[in-house]
């Protein structure tokens, strides 16, 4: 009989115990009485007696990762994509992810702020913060910027906004990020792609024109170089002729000497006035 009573007491005691697993911090909440509210003592890993008028909330201190997507096989089964508008009023939807962790020394403060567990804080408060920041920041951006190079700047600004709202209470944002491509109406994507294609084509044509101009400049430079070389050769030839003429004028016997040096000793068949070559006739 005593054994049965002891077993019953033990069973009741175990039924009233709750466990705080490793990597978590527990917060005990009083539901009734004058002590109703949040216990300021964080409960580390272990087993704790939780009375009938108390609740235990668990806050994991390791990194939490959640994604809000349109896919039914990632994140939630329902469509949780986030939507916003650009400065032109064009609707954009996107899949967004978040990674964060909780400061174990501020779990009581977090619960006092939101009165929710970590899942509710993620699904409601953090999601709304991200969505509101997207709406605010994208409303001043053109659709081409959001769809192109500006989307990195946009998500970085969202992370800054959310971090500023929750860092003081102990939620440490590690990363807020896009998942896949942003989704725009097909006609808008087609228009953007057409504009990008036209810009690339114009750039290609400009590059071709610059290349042709460079080739033409190269040909002109080559032709100018050849012309300059010919002029220099002509000037050198003229100068050479002039120098030779001056030399012959100063030395009239030089021509006869050169002729004698080159003569092979054979008399010409035809001679003017039967004159021997190289012999002056007076």
Report residue 195 as tokens.
Answer: 């504009």
Residues 6+ apart with CB under 8 A from 86: 92, 138, 139, 141, 142, 143, 146
Question: What's the rounded Cα separation, in Å, for the pair 98 and 65?
Answer: 6
* Residue pLDDT, tens place only, 245-266: 776 677 666 666 666 666 666 6
The radius of gyration of the chain from alpha carbons, rounded to an integer in Å, stands at: 48
Higher pLDDT, 32 or 12: 32
pLDDT of 188: 67
CA distances from 10 to 7, 16, 45 (A): 5, 10, 21
101 touches 23 (CB < 8 A): no
Average pLDDT over residues 230-244: 80
10 Å Cβ neighbour count for 43? 20
- Helix (H/G/I), strand (E/B), else coil: 172: strand
* Residue pLDDT, tens place only, 46-101: 888 887 888 888 899 999 999 999 988 877 788 999 999 999 888 899 999 999 99
Higher pLDDT, 218 or 134: 134
């Amino acid at each position: 009989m005593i054994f049965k009573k002891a077993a019953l007491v033990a069973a009741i005691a175990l039924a009233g115990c709750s466990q705080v697993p490793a990597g978590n911090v527990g917060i005990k909440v009083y539901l009734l009485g004058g002590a109703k509210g949040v216990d300021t003592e964080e409960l580390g890993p272990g087993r704790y007696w939780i009375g009938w008028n108390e609740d235990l909330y668990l806050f994991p201190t390791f990194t939490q990762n959640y994604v809000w997507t349109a896919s039914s096989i990632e994140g939630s089964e329902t469509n949780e994509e986030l939507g916003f508008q650009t400065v032109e009023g064009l609707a954009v939807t996107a899949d967004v992810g978040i990674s964060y962790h909780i400061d174990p020394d501020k779990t009581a403060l977090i619960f006092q702020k939101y009165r929710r567990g970590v899942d509710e804080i993620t699904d409601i408060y953090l999601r709304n913060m991200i969505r509101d920041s997207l709406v605010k920041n994208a409303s001043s951006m053109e659709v081409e910027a959001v769809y192109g190079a500006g989307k990195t700047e946009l998500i970085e600004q969202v992370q800054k906004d959310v971090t500023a709202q929750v860092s003081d209470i102990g939620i440490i944002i590690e990363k807020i990020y896009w998942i896949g491509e942003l989704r725009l109406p097909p006609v808008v994507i087609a228009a953007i792609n057409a504009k990008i294609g036209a810009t690339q084509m114009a750039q290609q044509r400009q590059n071709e024109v610059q290349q042709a101009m460079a080739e033409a400049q190269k040909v002109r430079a080559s032709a100018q170089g050849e012309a300059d070389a010919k002029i220099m050769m002509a000037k050198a030839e003229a100068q050479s002729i002039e120098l030779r003429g001056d030399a012959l004028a100063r030395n009239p016997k030089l021509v006869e000497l050169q002729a004698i040096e080159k003569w092979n000793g054979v008399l010409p068949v035809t001679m003017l006035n039967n004159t021997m070559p190289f012999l002056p006739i007076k």
